[in-house]
Amino acid sequence: MDTGANGEVIVVGGGVVGLATAVVLAERGLRVRVWTRDPVERTTSAVAGALWWPYHIEPVATARRWALRSLEVYEELAARPEETGVRLVEGAMGGTDPADVEGWAAGRLAVLRRATEREYPAGAAMWARLPLIDMAVHLPWLRQRLLRAGGTVEERTVTDLAEAEAPVVVNCAGLGARELVGDLSVRPQRGQLVVVENPGVDTWLVAATSGAELVYLFPQPGRLLLGGTAEDDAWSREPDPAVAEGIVRRCAGLRPEVAGARILEHRVGLRPVRPAVRLEREALPDGRVLVHHYGHGGAGVTVAWGCAEEAAALAASSWRPSPTGSGTGPAVW
């Protein structure tokens, strides 16, 4: 696999998409460096509730393909949950018909049926066993996997991709792409959640909602994540006490036992929403290759491995100029 004079790749961005892409490249024998503004434990990915499900991502058909490939990986990782942070957990998703899911995930989910009224008292729902990822464990594990493959992680703020002097650069900057490459179509969607002591909830739950107020409960080892919000074009990373109160109240409406649970932490993250994921290869004037790989919205964890493999293929393939000299054209999904 030839990526240039020295087979070196710089991945800009240390969230789950950037790390997964870097791991794929490094395990294929490339010399990979990840440049990340924040430690991986403080990236947007660290805030994610991280239930495997294609959420707020376009185009839908391609995202589902990426998601199903990622499902294969997560099912393997779930054999070592303490190490990888990945578990297969059952739960209810309100307003979702199992027949619709079977339409695109045919035979891929070991547990998929209608939820009973006891499992989901607020109407029709799907009951399924899905990967639930503990990002506090998973992100450091990804970093260690990259290091074992010979890659490196550097905390570095990048203001211009020209700083990344490597034959191939992969732009996984997420919301940072607004400033880094001037892409104003990638916008923030603010998500706030509340972490509480788990009063005994061992299944996940996502309620059918619309608008900016979400309802979900994700049990993680030693705690329970309550959410949430989906506020478009909201930039504040400070937890709002009134919003937190509303989150707990909505969750308690479905699981009354969480009403008095002790609050451990408040979290806020900005999902990098875009009309469609940008997965595109670009030839730079100096002959290097730039792969854009961002805009995964609220589904970065869900599609991480599937789209990382496609991004790695773009990064590793030779750039062949077209007869007009403008390149073969971008591979945009």
User: Is 42 a member of any domain?
Assistant: yes
Give the number of domains in the chain. 1
User: Is 196 a member of any domain?
Assistant: no
User: Is 81 a member of any domain?
Assistant: yes
**pLDDT tens column, 145-195:** 999 999 999 999 999 999 999 999 999 999 999 999 999 999 999 999 999
7-43: b (≥16 Cβ within 10 Å) or e: bbbbbbbbbbbbbbbbbbbbbbebbbbbbbeeebeeb
User: Is 103 a member of any domain?
Assistant: no
User: Is 60 a member of any domain?
Assistant: yes
User: Is 288 a member of any domain?
Assistant: yes
User: Is 168 a member of any domain?
Assistant: yes
Show pLDDT as tens, one digit a residue, over the chain (333 residues): 444 445 799 999 999 999 999 999 999 999 999 999 999 998 999 998 899 999 889 999 999 999 999 999 999 999 999 999 999 999 999 999 999 999 999 999 999 999 999 999 899 999 999 999 999 999 999 999 999 999 999 999 999 999 999 999 999 999 999 999 999 999 999 999 999 999 999 999 999 888 899 999 999 999 999 999 999 999 999 999 999 999 999 999 999 999 999 999 999 999 999 999 999 999 998 889 999 999 999 999 999 999 999 999 999 874 333 333 333 333 333
Give the closest residue to 130 by CA, choosing from 59, 78, 94, 63.
Answer: 78
User: Is 20 a member of any domain?
Assistant: yes
Give the domain extent around 301: 1-85+134-180+274-333
Q: What is the model's pTM?
A: 0.92
CATH number at 23 reads: 3.40.50.720
Distance CA 214, CA 201 (A): 18
